[in-house]
Structure 1
Amino acid sequence: MLPAMSAWTGTSARGDLMGRMNEPPRLPEGSFAAWSRDRLALARRGADECGDVWQLEPGTYVVATAGPCEEVLHRAQDFPKPPSPLFPPLKRADSAPTPEEHSHARAARMRGLRPQAVAARIGEIAPGTARFADQWPAGRDVEILPVVRPVLAEVGVRYLFSEDAPALLPFAWQLFVARELLVRPSRWVWPRWVPTSARRFRTRQQVAFTNALRPIVRRRRSSGRLGDDALGHMLRPSSRYGLLPEEAVLDTLPGITVATFETPSRAAGWIMLHLARYPRAADRIAAEASSLPTDPAATTSTHLDSLPYTQALVREVLRLHPPSWLLTRRATQQTRLADYTIDAGSTVLVCPYTAHRDAREHSEPDRFRPERWLDDSGSPAKPGVFLAFGTGPHGCEGAALAMAMLTLLTAQIARRYHLSEPPGPEPSYQVTTFEGLATAGLRLRATVRG
């Protein structure tokens, strides 16, 4: 951690101290061009050859190992998360919510996503995952991501909006389409104020989603039936800041609506690939899943707790292939990290992908071994050990929901099927790293268990 500076009496002394520190090492032949060609390989090479922190290009640093990654994510004032450009608040002529109101809205939204809230609603999450397993077209190769994403979208949107989910699901899907257009790799990086076709499409979909959600908010408030879902939590007055303005509620929901299914879908691809490649692990999950109730709606948090190996496998896949494998932060001031100087204004890339392969934290770090999470030493709460959902003030607020969705989906699939990859020497998918780690084009075949 950053040592205390109480012994230094002025900013000049502090600056002298910083000035005497070394910059992080530069990876030979490292550059943005090399990075764009193979991000994962360069990230591994940087961690192996340079250690905790290394310099990609002047002003851009990669934090590669567990301890420094944990430190950056917790030091939110020194390394704040840049504002997301994907779904910014809509511009309005008047009645625009203040930054403080947006902050209160995010806090209210998180109340509906905390672990206790998710645990109370497992019976609403389980039916969607079981329905996906029931409807899998067995006996033929199926491309995974296009079939799992709509299922998880339905589960996620229903968690947020309960009985109003069917009316909002088409608009949520269009928000996802807009997101995909925005994050698509391009030769040109346009300033945020340039109204590109993708940004205009995004704005139209945000407006459509907001227009569909607004009457739902007004109906719930006027009737007094706010609901027990995530939206209901946002509509309840708080003792700290009272009733949230309608526009603050509406502004803060597009991003989390897409996030409830976009990131878990990427994770689901990796999980199903591992079920196909490790049949003994899949058999163990199938045996564990036999304890789930016949009626998925009767599933409770107790049933979820009875799936420790399934949860361990999900966690191990997320360790090896974190969907959000690279997190961007920006240094607000010159500071110290892992005995190196980080200049103010620098871009700091936190890399859970390499942190999860830190041999100081995980024995045999490249080996797939779910059992490590069942050992006494395999606690995900240990600093730096598990960063698939981030950590600190900006850790993923949907982590509990994602883990519940993925655990139940894994259990239901393994309970019903053996999975296998198509025959052939080449993998049936392509690893993509832009805006997340995914198995693009992954195809698998399901065979009904005897």
Structure 2
Amino acid sequence: MGRTNEPPRLPEGGFAAWNRDRLGVARRGADECGDVWQLEPGVYVAATAEPCEAVLRRAHDFPKAPSPLFPPSKRSGGAPTPEERAHAHAARMRGLRAQAVAARIGEIAPGTARFVDRWPTDQDVEVLPPVRHALAEIGVRYLYSEDAPTLLPHAFQLFLAREVLARPSRWEWPRWIPTPARRFRTRQQVAFTDALRPIVRRRRSSGRLGDDTLGQMLRPSPRYGLLPEEAVLDTLPGITVATFETPSRAAGWILLHLARYPQAASRVAAEAALLPADPAATTSTHLDNLHYTQALVREVLRLHPPSWLLTRRTARETQLAGYTIDAGSTVLVCPYTAHRDAREHPDPDRFQPERWLDDEGPPAGPGVFLSFGTGPHGCEGTALAMAMLTLLTAQTARRYRLSEPPGPEPSHQVATYEGLATVGLRLRATSRSRGQSWAPSES
């Protein structure tokens, strides 16, 4: 006999329905079953704001599965210990925290301006490849400064390895089986670390460590001392890809909204007109003054979180939203439906950037914004991603009006397997005339 306090099961749900229409089933589960519901025996979905927040913050009860995309390399010197990897994470954060990003806005803004300069006007363009290239240039340069040109080609190969591994497969092979995708991943990871190793040794031997993220990792910590070389090398492939992979998905949704909501785009353009003519002169003060632009970015990420589904496993029997969850169960955290929780976001399906403006009183309850996760495993590059996306949005709207291609064919396809993405998105950019005004209200 089943427990009486099990989460409800969605009628006509299950994996078959889920694989046909993930977003639709996720919405139906939240609407019909509430905070937590059961997809299959032992597989639960945290669907609304509060339980999503609880799962992500309670890492001792709901740990992240230990399956890194780029696992430690097997070298003669030995893989970094868990303690060394934790220290490496702390060292990376010295270069990625909000204050560090704010100090380097003048290095980020030129990359977003170059993306805008390269966009061919008055023709339909598939936008995600150039967006990804631009954000990769920015992200890799932020991490490695003058050594970025050496590492950028390897970063693209790491991204390709990630894409190959993420493709749906009929079989879930044990981790120890060297599938072609895993062998390709290993080759690219080794090539990246082989290119990075002489850079690390050159910086350490010369004493010129650099002020970038790599430089922060090479500095001895007062508490932990000097990081071993392998700990530096093995913990950088993942964050290198992360600086542009997830932001590229987000940028696709943002550009699509600029095309679909021209009045909002014009308001962004008016705000962006106050940015310096020389992008390198952009400071954190300029960024902070882009109030509406930042609100628009947050609103797009609320409606279309790039990482719309996060997986956790229960370490022990525990309680969630009043239900008992057995040890070893899978819990799917769904920011996509949490962000549509009407208790936190009135009229949740409406695109309304104004809900995030200070004078409107932005929501402050748990789980109201989970696009970058939260808790111990929240995205460490949040500040960098928000800076890149805000400046990309502002620079694009200042220069262009965007539109979707005319005709019956959709401008994109929605992908949900690995993340929420606008696959094949095509848009047209038309030069914006000076002095164009914006209207303050839009349905």
Which residue does 2:20 correspond to in 1?
37
Which residue does 2:436 correspond to in 1?
none
Q: 2: distance between equivalents of 1:244 and 1:90? A: 16
Which residue does 2:287 correspond to in 1?
304
SS, match of residue 96 in structure 2 = coil
Which residue does 1:289 correspond to in 2?
272
CA 1:378 to 1:331, structure 2 compared with 1: closer, same or farther past 3 Å?
Answer: farther
Q: 1:27 aligns with which of 10, 34, 42?
A: 10
Which residue does 1:245 correspond to in 2?
228
Report the TM-score, using the length of structure 1 for normalisation: 0.94
The answer to whether residue 50 in structure 2 is matched with residue 67 in structure 1 is yes
The answer to whether residue 255 in structure 2 is matched with residue 272 in structure 1 is yes
Q: 1: distance between equivalents of 2:410 and 2:395? A: 25
CA 1:380 to 1:130, structure 2 compared with 1: closer, same or farther past 3 Å?
Answer: farther
Which residue does 1:82 correspond to in 2?
65
Q: 2: distance between equivalents of 1:37 and 1:363? A: 29
Q: 1: distance between equivalents of 2:128 and 2:173? A: 29
Q: 1: distance between equivalents of 2:164 and 2:25? A: 26
Aligned residue type for 2:178: P
How far apart are residue 93 of structure 1 and its match?
Answer: 3.0
SS, match of residue 312 in structure 2 = strand
Contact 1:53 1:63 in 2 (8 A): yes
Which residue does 1:158 correspond to in 2?
141
Give runs of aligned pairs for residues 202-217 of structure 1, distance below 5 A.
202-217=185-200
Which residue does 1:412 correspond to in 2?
395
Tell which deviates more after alignment, 80-89 or 286-295.
80-89
Aligned residue type for 1:339: G
Q: 2: distance between equivalents of 1:126 and 1:381? A: 29
Contact 2:412 2:426 in 1 (8 A): yes
Q: 2:421 aligns with which of 423, 438, 444?
A: 438
Write the deviation string for residues 271-315 of structure 1: whole angstroms up to 9, x where unpaired. Answer: 000000000000000000011001100100000011000000000
Q: 2:85 aligns with which of 102, 105, 111?
A: 102
Which residue does 2:31 correspond to in 1?
48
Which residue does 1:169 correspond to in 2?
152
Q: 2: distance between equivalents of 1:30 and 1:285? A: 41
SS, match of residue 276 in structure 2 = coil
CA 1:302 to 1:445, structure 2 compared with 1: closer, same or farther past 3 Å?
Answer: same
SS, match of residue 112 in structure 1 = helix
SS, match of residue 206 in structure 1 = helix
How far apart are residue 189 of structure 1 and its match?
Answer: 1.4
Aligned residue type for 1:292: L
The CA RMSD over aligned residues, in Å, is 1.2
How far apart are residue 375 of structure 1 and its match?
Answer: 4.4
SS, match of residue 255 in structure 2 = helix
Aligned residue type for 2:113: A
Contact 1:21 1:341 in 2 (8 A): no
Which residue does 2:326 correspond to in 1?
343
Which residue does 2:132 correspond to in 1?
149
Give runs of aligned pairs for residues 3-14 of structure 1, distance below 5 A.
none
How far apart are residue 427 of structure 1 and its match?
Answer: 1.8
Q: 2: distance between equivalents of 1:147 and 1:141? A: 13
Q: 1:391 aligns with which of 364, 374, 378?
A: 374
SS, match of residue 61 in structure 1 = strand
SS, match of residue 142 in structure 1 = strand
Tell which deviates more after alignment, 352-361 or 68-77.
68-77
Aligned residue type for 2:426: R
Q: 2: distance between equivalents of 1:295 and 1:239? A: 39
Contact 2:64 2:312 in 1 (8 A): yes
Contact 2:344 2:365 in 1 (8 A): no
How far apart are residue 381 of structure 1 and its match?
Answer: 5.1
SS, match of residue 110 in structure 2 = helix
Q: 1: distance between equivalents of 2:278 and 2:421? A: 32
Q: 2: distance between equivalents of 1:378 and 1:366? A: 19
Q: 2: distance between equivalents of 1:149 and 1:352? A: 23
Which residue does 1:373 correspond to in 2?
356
How far apart are residue 378 of structure 1 and its match?
Answer: 4.4
How far apart are residue 379 of structure 1 and its match?
Answer: 3.4
SS, match of residue 39 in structure 2 = strand
Gaps of 5+ in 1: 1-18
* Structure 1 stretches of 4+ moved >4 Å: 375-378
Q: 2: distance between equivalents of 1:378 and 1:317? A: 18
Contact 2:345 2:363 in 1 (8 A): no
The answer to whether residue 244 in structure 2 is matched with residue 261 in structure 1 is yes
Report the TM-score, using the length of structure 2 for normalisation: 0.96
CA 1:380 to 1:389, structure 2 compared with 1: closer, same or farther past 3 Å?
Answer: farther
Which residue does 1:112 correspond to in 2?
95
SS, match of residue 447 in structure 1 = strand
Contact 1:21 1:339 in 2 (8 A): no
Q: 2: distance between equivalents of 1:415 and 1:94? A: 52
Q: 2: distance between equivalents of 1:247 and 1:43? A: 41
Write the deviation string for residues 56-77 of structure 1: whole angstroms up to 9, x where unpaired. Answer: 0011100000011111111011
Which residue does 2:218 correspond to in 1?
235
Write the deviation string for residues 125-176 of structure 1: whole angstroms up to 9, x where unpaired. Answer: 0000001101100010000111110110000000000110001000111000
Q: 2: distance between equivalents of 1:426 and 1:362? A: 32
Q: 2: distance between equivalents of 1:27 and 1:382? A: 27
- How many residues align structurally? 432
How far apart are residue 96 of structure 1 and its match?
Answer: 2.5
Aligned residue type for 1:199: R
Which residue does 1:10 correspond to in 2?
none
Which residue does 1:132 correspond to in 2?
115
Q: 2: distance between equivalents of 1:36 and 1:24? A: 21
Write the deviation string for residues 85-119 of structure 1: whole angstroms up to 9, x where unpaired. Answer: 31111112333221111111111111111000000
Gaps of 5+ in 2: 434-443
Q: 2: distance between equivalents of 1:238 and 1:369? A: 44
How far apart are residue 377 of structure 1 and its match?
Answer: 5.7
Contact 2:62 2:313 in 1 (8 A): yes
Write the deviation string for residues 206-260 of structure 1: whole angstroms up to 9, x where unpaired. Answer: 0000000001001111111111111111111111111000000101000010000
Contact 1:21 1:340 in 2 (8 A): no
How far apart are residue 84 of structure 1 and its match?
Answer: 3.4
